[in-house]
Each structure stands twice: as structure tokens, then as C-alpha cells.
Amino acid sequence: MKRENLFPNLGMGLGLRAQHYSHIAQTSPQLGWLEAIAENYMGLSESGGGRSLKTLQQLREKYEVVLHGVSLSIGSTDELNFSYLKKLKELSAQIQPKWISDHLCWTGVDGENIHDLMPLPFTKETLEHLTSRILQVQDFLGRRILLENVSSYITFKHSEMSEWDFLAEVAKRSDCGLLLDVNNVYVSSVNHGFDPITYLKALPSERIGQIHLAGHSRNGEILVDTHDGPVCNEVWELYRTAIQLFGSVSTMVEWDAQIPDFSVLHAEVGKAAIILEQETERAGESCTQLA
């Protein structure tokens, strides 16, 4: 369980959504940190701030905050959008997040954003393309970023390696961090028929700075990453395995559709905290027995 990590452990957090602004601001619930969707706040300072940005700034006084983007499109063949990156850097200067993350995918082509997280072919050519772009982004932002594995519903015949080996190699070549979405690993493992534990074991522990947990839905034989319900038992058990492999990692719960009362979401965070505590205690007992 002991490991050297490139990112601090912030404890348990959740995805900040407008429906819960007032409750969090008024009650200051027990949380280690909040993840804010960067695009919801970028550029607002130009028009005097806006309620959302002011709320985020107020919450930043109570909690650590990380910024999570959905539009970097790091895998696209389009030129990097430096106008977008400039706004992201300005927001980062205002909020001082512990880190910035986005997704290992592409979200558009020819300047059009399709507002979806599209998978990539796992090839050497893609690796070279991604490495160059990630290094440019990190140089521009002046910090190491984290990239998240996405759920997928198709694979590419010309892929040359597994997703997990590809992800590990991207992190190694570009010196970036990884945002491990445990739900996405499970969803893709069911959709494509691979072993999710094999996936986890291949990842570089020291580069995993954050973990996402979320709910999903079933559409026939396919699982869909919908973030519209509680975390299922299979994902909880996979999270337990992740903690056994990687130790204590900043963990949060996402819930983006059919958003419930805050108490329901907070209870999900509590379940994650219990698993982390159980596995930490178990690891401590193992170390004692070996001493």
C-alpha cells in the first residue's frame, strides 16, 4: 500500500454540480475536495464573473478544488486550441486547483465539437501523436495534467496493443498523470470482453492521481456510461482491487443525470470512504504480520 505518487492524496470528494451549490455553501459537508467542470467557469471573468464562478471561488476557500475538462480533444488531428487553453490557464490562475484533468480521447474534427468522448486506436502512431500534444499542453499550462480513460463501445481492428498498455505508455512518454475511471474500466470490460483486473495491474501506480466512480446503465448487452445512478456492486469491488493495488488515491463520485438530493450523493462518497478504510487497515495488518 505504500507508494510514491506524483499527486497528493486529497481524500474523498465529489463532482460539483449547480444543484448542490447552495447546500455545500451553507452546510460545509465533510469532504476533502471538489471537482469542477472547467468549461462551466472558463471565460466568465471577462463578463464580471457570474454566479457560478463566484460560487466556485467561495467554495475554494473551504475545499481543495481540481478542474476537469471535457473539450481538450487531445487525440484529435485538429491543431490544439490555444484559445481554449488560454482560458483554462486563466481559470487555473484564479482558482489555483491542485491539478487539471481531461480525457484521453477526441471530441471533434475540423473545428466542430461533437460533445462526445470518442475512443482512439491503440497504435504507435497514435502514441507519437498524443505524446507531442500532451507535452505542448503541459508546457503551455506550466503543469503536469491528468488524462482519464474513457468508456468505449467500439474497438479498432488496426490497434496494435491493449488499452491498458497504451495508457501506461502514454503516461510514461508524456510524463502526464492518470485519472483512473474505475466505472469506465468496468463498462469497457463488459462491452469488449476483457479482464478489468488485468487492466488495473498494468497501470503505473505512481502516476494515478485520481479515481472516478459513477453509475452506468444497460442497453441490451451493452453497458453505457450514463452517470445517472448509484455505483453498482461490481464497480465497488473493482474499486476495492484498485485500492489494494495503488493505495490511497484521491477518490470522487460523479452523478450527472437524474441528480439526486445531496444526501444520496454524499452517501455514495461515504461508501468509498469505508472501502478505503477497510483496505488500508487490512494492508496495515499484513505489514504487521510480515514485520
- Quote the pLDDT of residue 108: 81
- Quote the pLDDT of residue 288: 46
- Quote the pLDDT of residue 4: 64
Return all residues near 79 (Cβ < 8 A) that are at least 6 apart: none
265 and 252 Cβ atoms separated by less than 8 Å: no
**Among candidates 87, 63, 50, which has minimal Cα distance to 12?**
63
Return all residues near 148 (Cβ < 8 A) that are at least 6 apart: 101, 102, 103, 104, 178, 179, 180, 181, 184, 212
Give CA angle at 17 (38, 76), nearest 5°: 35
Q: 12-290, superfamily in CATH?
A: Divalent-metal-dependent TIM barrel enzymes (3.20.20.150)
Count Cα neighbours of 49 within 13 Å in the Cβ-side half-sphere: 9
pLDDT tens for the chain, 291 residues: list them: 445 678 999 999 999 999 999 999 999 999 999 999 999 999 886 555 578 999 999 999 999 999 999 999 999 999 999 999 999 999 999 999 999 999 999 998 777 777 788 899 999 999 999 999 999 999 999 999 999 999 999 999 999 999 999 999 999 999 999 999 999 999 999 999 999 999 999 999 999 999 999 999 999 999 999 999 999 999 999 999 999 999 999 999 999 999 999 999 999 999 999 999 999 999 886 544 444
pTM here is 0.94
SS3 per residue for 125-157: HHHHHHHHHHHHHHHHHCCCCEEECCCCCCCCC
Residue 64 φ/ψ, nearest 5 degrees: -70, 150
- Quote the pLDDT of residue 49: 56
Rounded to whole angstroms, the Cα distance separating 251 from 242 reads: 11
Count Cα neighbours of 41 within 13 Å in the Cβ-side half-sphere: 28
> What percentage of the chain exceeds 70 in pLDDT?
95
| pLDDT tens string 6-27 | 899 999 999 999 999 999 999 9
DSSP annotation of 229 reads S
Per-domain residue ranges for the chain? Answer: 12-290
**Among candidates 285, 202, 246, 277, which has minimal Cα distance to 3?**
246
